[in-house]
Amino acid sequence: MKKVILTGDRPTGRLHVGHYAGSLKERVKLQNSGEYDDIYIMIADAQALTDNAEHPEKVRQNILQVALDYLACGIDPNKSTIFVQSMIPELTELTFYYMNLVTVSRVQRNPTVKAEIQMRNFEASIPVGFFCYPISQAADITAFRATAVPVGEDQLPMLEQCKEIVHKFNSVYGETLTEPQIILPSNKACLRLPGIDGKAKMSKSLGNCIYLAEEPEDIKKKVMSMFTDPNHLRVEDPGKVEGNPVFIYLDAFCRDEHFAEFWNDYSCLDELKAHYQRGGLGDVKVKKFLNNVMQEELRPIRERRKEWENHLPDVLDILKEGSKVAKETAAKTLEDVRHSMRIDYFTDNNLLK
């Protein structure tokens, strides 16, 4: 069996370091590992419209923004197929068939759906398209016969639901669909990066993000305003590193060589943590170090992005070509699905057989 990756993002805004730590960095690593036969990276504009139906221009404007972030992070169009979801109508048809295999109560129990509904204040009136997006996501994954899906921890319930749909389809219609496996970041701190305000999740809608394309002065301003241990009021007070956003970010991005370059009072992060925990180390110093780490991490991304911004027609061509390749793959899967369901009536006059 071919080893295939499918992953993607909703184009509702520029991508931030939560996307980068939680999934993008891992995608680039997997892309360059040479272990996978095909890699598909989807700009999920149709899914974005499920809660932006009245603002399609917002989605439209961010398609290129997300593509630029992908290219800036190191996604290589020669190794990965970048495509736009709505350009693949086969995904919609697959979603329609899968809907018959899932109950309303099962979707309602999905923890990710529950959290997203609450965050968007949809409790009273949920758009049907938004409610069904776990089924749409299953269509996206199975259309490309993905064996691996690198995502953040919050998407784990979605993958479980996708597996259920695969099992149900295969048990009813015969072995047709491929069951995917989730790939979580190896660094546990990257599973779910908190917002700079200390809230559980970094989110564009909450305004607590550091964007990949941020200018240096904006990164510094945000880092220096970050939430820390609320009980660490004086320098001499012992500080808590568990649940402290500044140290979570350091866990995600800091390497030993950063200390040699930016803070040679320490040789590694464990030494810094130990000093903070016993007291005598102020938050401002730690934030200044984190700022240096983040600047080092984001500088090459920002520079590559600016280079691609000068070649937008080339970016558009990458999306066009990627969508063409993706459509061919999805069409073959849809053909197999229709055959398994015995609804390929006109193929070889099957309706007469």
Where are the chain's structural domains? Answer: 4-192+312-352, 216-307
In whole angstroms, what is the distance from residue 254 CA to residue 263 CA?
12
User: CA triplet 259, 264, 265: central angle to 5 degrees?
Assistant: 115
- In our burial notation (b when 16+ CB lie closer than 10 A, e otherwise), range 209-223 reads bbbbbbeeeebbebb
Q: Which residue has the tokens 């040789």?
A: 267
- In our burial notation (b when 16+ CB lie closer than 10 A, e otherwise), range 7-32 reads bbbbbbbbbbbbbbbbbbbbbbebbe
Contact 4, 146 (CB under 8 A): yes
Secondary element (H or E) of residue 183: strand 181-183
pLDDT recorded at residue 206: 80
pLDDT recorded at residue 253: 95
Axis-axis angle for helices 312-340, 56-73 (nearest 10): 100
Q: Tell me if the domain spanning 4-192+312-352 has CATH number 3.40.50.620.
A: yes
pLDDT recorded at residue 189: 60
Superfamily of chain region 216-307: Tyrosyl-Transfer RNA Synthetase (1.10.240.10)
In whole angstroms, what is the distance from residue 146 CA to residue 38 CA?
9
In whole angstroms, what is the distance from residue 317 CA to residue 321 CA?
6
pLDDT recorded at residue 116: 76
- 3-state DSSP assignment of residue 213: coil
Write out pLDDT tens, residues 239-268: 999 999 999 999 999 999 999 999 999 999
* Closest listed residue to residue 321, CA positions, set 80, 38, 83, 85: 83
Length of the chain in terms of residues written: 353
Question: What residue ranges of the chain have pLDDT lower than 50?
Answer: none
In whole angstroms, what is the distance from residue 152 CA to residue 101 CA?
26
Q: Write the CA distances from 270 to 66, 139, 245, 250, 254, integer angstroms.
A: 35, 44, 16, 11, 11
In whole angstroms, what is the distance from residue 335 CA to residue 344 CA?
8
In whole angstroms, what is the distance from residue 336 CA to residue 81 CA?
22
Q: Which residue has the tokens 């997203």?
A: 116
Contacts of 85 (CB under 8 A, 6+ apart): 8, 42, 43, 44, 45, 46, 47, 91, 140
Write out pLDDT tens, residues 200-213: 778 777 889 999 99
- 3-state DSSP assignment of residue 13: coil
Q: Cα-atom radius of gyration of the chain, to the nearest Å?
A: 22
What token pair was written down for 63?
Answer: 């398609």
* Closest listed residue to residue 328, CA positions, set 94, 88, 98, 97: 88
What token pair was written down for 31?
Answer: 């892309």
